Chain A
Amino acid sequence: MRLLLITLLALLVATVVGLGATWMTATRGTDLGTLTIGAWTARPKTGTSDVDPYSRATITRNGELPIGTGDGVAFTAMTDDRKKPLDGRCDVVVSGVTPAARFWTLTLYDQKGHLVANALQRYGFTSQEIVRGADGAFEIRVAARSRAGNWLPTGGIERYALMFRLYDTPVGVATRTQRDAPMPQIATVGCP
């Protein structure tokens, strides 16, 4: 009787620990093969055949298709440069320069990866439609209410993610540091 109880307890612990760890890694991701530059994180290896098992689990669970290495690379930011989570009610400024690429796009998603509805039907910017300063640098204001210049509406949602995709770019598996890939800064400049 006691042996049975103990075996059951061990199996219960195994199930909780095992499936719990799998759930955690599949929903939050792991640090395997990540490239972090400022607030931005990319996993260039997810676009190749030697993608790690954790990324594969996350990809199939979310039902997404990773961007292939011959196509480009995708960077995600969930926080600003000071690790403050991106809040749709605040004014966030994305500014600076971008790594070499033929095109880039910046897109705003909710936490499930869906686009956020807004009256302008603006879900992001491409490198061609952005208004730049004389030195080639740009500034995008991510805010709930209309702003001058490059305004990206948040729809006032509490948490969102920014995705910065580079197409036809040398940035990829071999990239290590900010010097290879100067990513734009993200700063929260004011909250109501």
Chain B
Amino acid sequence: MIRLLFTIIAGVLLGGVVHLVSVLALPRIATQDAYSRLTPLTKLNAVTRLPPSDPSNTVMPFLDPAFAVAVCRYDLSGGPIKLTVPVSQAYTSVSFYTRNEVAYYAINDRSAGKKVIELDLMTEAQHNDLPEDEEITAADRLIIDSPTATGLIVLKALAPEPGLMPQAQASLAASSCAEQADQPAKQAEAPRGKR
């Protein structure tokens, strides 16, 4: 009897360990997470508009139907990414997620303070490799460090009334997310800096 009780206590203790390990492992082993759901729908390093939220569209749960949503699925292994989002009339925001859906950065049109939200996204290593040029570190260039090489950028534009949805979609359609074109120029600059 004592032995049975001891077995059950040991089982419960071991169960605690199993619980902790499985909770920590779940983000890595989940196959239906947002990134996996969006992978077949989106292009890599390009802005893809998501279909409008309605009851038949079940891409992701808990999407706000008042927003036009577009996604840029990024991979920084080929170099930093430049993101440009023109601001819509009502409200525009840009949120950054890691491969495992950690929201590490979000900015809205008012905190960006300009008509166009312009950001450079790079890994920490790429940020450190940047030549220390005053023009580049100037305040008009906002650099975001991504904790992972891959992830998601979600662009959202609010349609305050259903009739304004086309306008919100149009402002997102004008946004871009692409590998930086000035990459070769920077590489050419780098050796000069060393001399």
Contacts and interface: CB of A to CB of B under 8 A. Distances in A.
Given A15-B18, A56-B102, A65-B60, A25 B33 contact: no
Nearest to A155: B55
Contact of B95 (A9, A67, A168): A67
B6 to A, nearest CB: 9
Given A11-B11, A18-B17, A102-B91, A69 B26 contact: no
A26 B3 CA distance: 33
Interface in B86-119: 90-91, 93, 95-97, 100-108, 110-111
Contacts of A69: 103, 106
Interface string B35-66: 01100000000000000011110101110111
B30 A109 contact: no
Interface residues of A, number: 63
Q: How large is the interface on B (under 10, 10 to 19, 20 to 34, 35 or more residues)?
A: 35 or more
Interface string A66-83: 111111101000000000
Nearest to A54: B23
Interface in A155-173: 163, 165, 167-168
Which applies to chain A's interface (DSSP): helix, strand, loop or mixed? mixed
A63 B105 contact: no
A162 to B, nearest CB: 12
Residue with the highest number of chain A CB atoms closer than 10 Å, among B4, B26, B27, B53 = B26
Contacts of A178: none
B188 to A, nearest CB: 35
Contacts, number: 207
Interface stretch (B72-80, B153-161, B169-177): B153-161
A16 B11 CA distance: 9
B19 interface: yes
B158 A17 contact: no
A183 to B, nearest CB: 18
A19 B18 contact: yes
B83 interface: no
B137 interface: no
A62 to B, nearest CB: 6
Contacts of A36: none
Interface of B: 3-4, 7-8, 10-19, 21-24, 26-27, 30, 32-34, 36-37, 53-56, 58, 60-62, 64-66, 90-91, 93, 95-97, 100-108, 110-111, 147, 152, 154, 156, 158-162
Given A60-B34, A107-B65, A116-B55, 18 more contacts: A10-B14, A18-B15, A18-B18, A18-B22, A19-B22, A22-B26, A25-B23, A48-B103, A61-B26, A65-B60, A65-B154, A70-B111, A71-B106, A102-B91, A112-B61, A115-B53, A123-B55, A129-B162
